[in-house]
Amino acid sequence: QQQVKQSPQSLIVQKGGISIINCAYENTAFDYFPWYQQFPGKGPALLIAIRPDVSEKKEGRFTISFNKSAKQFSLHIMDSQPGDSATYFCAASTKAAGNKLTFGGGTRVLVKP
């Protein structure tokens, strides 16, 4: 049973546009929500993360928005660049389950020049 649902599966955006990826979770005990970026043939790398005590976190062109009541969180990539073309994964974990990360299915983002 997938506890973290991610959409869309793929996304094409023009250079300079905004990429938006959404995730929904079921387990209300989740207390840590990271996003990972993965390039082909490489391991994922931590991009940005948020905890449920804040509704938004921004790091450079990347912003996480978090809606606790709706059990949803999203990644916004502002001013998207061709170098942002990658697969993005959301994830969630809870201390009660030993902080094991449960991942969404991934979104392949292509930024066209």
Partner 1 sequence: DGGITQSPKYLFRKEGQNVTLSCEQNLNHDAMYWYRQDPGQGLRLIYYSQIVNDFQKGDIAEGYSVSREKKESFPLTVTSAQKNPTAFYLCASSVQQGDGYTFGSGTRLTVV
What residue ranges bind partner 1 (CB under 8 A)? 6, 9, 32, 34, 36, 41-46, 49, 89, 93, 95, 98-106
Nearer to partner 1, 6 or 80 (CB): 6
Min dist. Cβ of residue 79 to partner 1 (A): 25
Q: 59 vs 10, 31, 34, 35, 49, CA distance in Å?
A: 23, 20, 13, 12, 10
Terminal C-alpha separation, the chain:
38
Q: Would you say 91 and 101 are in contact if contact means Cβ atoms under 8 Å apart?
A: yes
The tokens 């974990």 sit on which residue? 93
Min dist. Cβ of residue 104 to partner 1 (A): 6
Min dist. Cβ of residue 44 to partner 1 (A): 5
Nearer to partner 1, 43 or 113 (CB): 43
